[in-house]
Amino acid sequence: HVIADAAYLVLPNARSRCAGLYFLSNTSTTTPPNPQPNGAVRVLCKTIRGVPSSAAEAETGGLFLNAQEAVPIKIALEEMGHPQPTTGTPLETDNSTAHDILTATVRMKRSKAFDMRYHWLKDRIAQKQFNIYWAPGKLNKADYYTKHFPPAHHRYQPCRLQSPTHLVNLLTSHLRGCVAPRSRIQDPSMTSAAICSFLAPRTSGHPRMSEDTSRLA
């Protein structure tokens, strides 16, 4: 699943920035897709080459760059035995104009001046390699990587991007072989806030380590 976003004219010399959030999820059967959120496996953040003439062109360019990054990931997953949706990999955008142009639901007039490379994505959508859909901008998780935000937003956003499932994977990867922490985190009564507090670094040291030290003494 890919969530794409772009910020128009936020860089010097009238440049724009695009970002993308990639994660693995279940196959959504709804229209538009509504996959179960998961931790990111890749985050894209780069400057769009050239100067787009509108926000829709910047969003289309961001979708193009994210789709190019997603193609080798799709191929790798299929070769590892993880079949992809027959309708195409979900590709989310919050720009309705870019969505309508790429799905051929509007007639192109001034948008014919778009960079020709962006029409590559239109062909891939027609081949059902990608399933592009629109979602409100307030739900777009890739927006975090495209703009400058105040400190309060940075403190809030990481917990919003990381789901409890991702935090379980993060914890168990650092504490392999420790059965007690795994069972504690997988407790259904544990909330996201409790998991974050459990993952917070401690200054007193690990209790089992101090117990082993006392035995040696």
Q: What number of residues does the chain have?
A: 217
User: Which residues, 6+ apart, have CB-to-CB distance to 107 below 8 Å?
Assistant: none
pLDDT band at 193 (very low <50, low <70, confident <90, very high): low
pLDDT (tens digit per residue) in 194-205: 655 555 554 444
Q: Which residue has the higher pLDDT, 106 or 160?
A: 106
Supply 125's token pair: 């959508």
- Residue 201 DSSP SS3: coil
Please, which pLDDT band fits residue 174 given cuts at 50, 70 and 90? very low
Q: Rounded to whole angstroms, how far apart are CA atoms 113 and 93?
A: 21
- Cβ(74)–Cβ(27) under 8 Å? no
The 10 Å Cβ neighbour count of residue 137 is 11
Position with higher pLDDT, 168 vs 89: 89
d(CA 111, CA 89): 25
pLDDT of residue 216: 37
Mean pLDDT for the chain overall: 76
Average pLDDT for 50-78: 92
- 130 versus 151: the higher-pLDDT residue is 130
